[in-house]
């Protein structure tokens, strides 16, 4: 049988100090308002003493309205010292893609979006170079260039912030955007900027990680998608993958293998975020599959 339509589905993400009765409290609350739980997943970190849960439920038989439901969740959250957020299925997130000159991640995201794999809107591709205008034109997405130099970086970044806020962008994806965002930019959009780093972090941070890997003679190379923070390449990790390599591989071979990983890892991380499957705590993530 077909499931409920997307516009009647909501997803609730919660985290709080671990204690007895959390699951029952949330289940009873949702049942009492007429919501039908479709699936639920939970995790407890015994070291941190934290509890995490993702609940996906159907609103079509709701006895009350969404405002009343959220108020009730807020009351339980206060009692249990709980952080929470709710997302409604009928409202796709708005995503902007930041790029420079590399096109492989950009192409992959746009193709997946066209195929319906990424449930979002893409109002804007933003770049510090004009090179990828042709790609944006192929997919009918607006492309804007903000050239950045050492002298105008703060001014251009302020313009970028204004632009993504004008467009009500909810997620920024750095698809091999070769600029370091300021601490102010990152703080303003905390937990809403995903970066792809062409290395299996925490190994080989910074620039030219494939060259670093080659010089160390590694037997595995990788790619890491993470939330951007003010600490370069040290944000909470969302997804990673690796490929085998050997002494026969040149730097160019590592780059070729790595680009395949970058595309897949970034797409997975973006999809997880869009599907509201990630909770951040400290510098770690809980990712519900």
The residues annotated with a catalytic role in the active site are: 233
- From the CB of residue 227, how many other CB atoms can be counted at a distance below 10 Å? 22
Peptide bond into 202 cis (omega under 30): yes
Contacts of 208 by beta carbon, 8 Å cutoff, 6+ apart: none
Class of residue 264 by CB neighbours under 10 A (exposed 0-12, middle 13-18, buried 19+): middle
> Do 58 and 8 form a contact (C-beta atoms < 8 A)?
yes
Cα dihedral across residues 97, 105, 204, 192: positive or negative:
positive
């Amino acid at each position: 049988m077909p499931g409920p339509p997307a516009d009647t589905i909501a997803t609730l993400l919660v985290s709080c100090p671990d204690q007895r009765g959390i699951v029952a409290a949330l289940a009873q609350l949702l049942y009492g308002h007429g919501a039908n739980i479709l699936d639920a997943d939970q995790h407890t970190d015994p070291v941190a003493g934290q509890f995490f849960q993702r609940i996906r439920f159907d609103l079509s038989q709701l006895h009350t309205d969404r405002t009343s439901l959220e108020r009730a969740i807020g009351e339980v959250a206060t009692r249990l010292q709980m952080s929470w957020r709710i997302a409604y299925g009928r409202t796709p997130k708005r995503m902007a893609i930041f790029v420079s000159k590399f096109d492989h991640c950009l192409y992959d995201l746009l193709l997946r979006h066209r195929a319906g794999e990424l449930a979002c809107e893409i109002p804007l591709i933003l770049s510090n170079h004009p090179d990828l205008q042709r790609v944006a034109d192929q997919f009918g997405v607006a492309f804007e260039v903000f050239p950045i130099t050492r002298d105008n970086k703060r001014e251009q970044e302020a313009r970028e912030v204004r632009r993504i806020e004008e467009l009500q962008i909810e997620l920024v994806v750095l698809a091999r955007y070769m600029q370091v965002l300021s601490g102010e930019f990152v703080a303003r959009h905390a937990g809403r900027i995903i970066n792809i780093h062409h290395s299996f972090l925490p190994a080989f941070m910074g620039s030219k990680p494939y060259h670093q890997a080659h010089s160390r003679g590694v037997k595995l190379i990788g790619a890491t998608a993470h939330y951007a923070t003010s600490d370069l390449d040290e944000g909470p990790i969302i997804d990673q993958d690796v490929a085998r390599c050997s002494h026969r591989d040149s730097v160019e071979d590592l780059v070729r293998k790595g680009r395949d990983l970058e595309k897949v890892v970034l797409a997975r991380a973006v999809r997880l975020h869009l599907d509201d499957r990630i909770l951040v705590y400290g510098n770690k993530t809980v990712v519900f599959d």
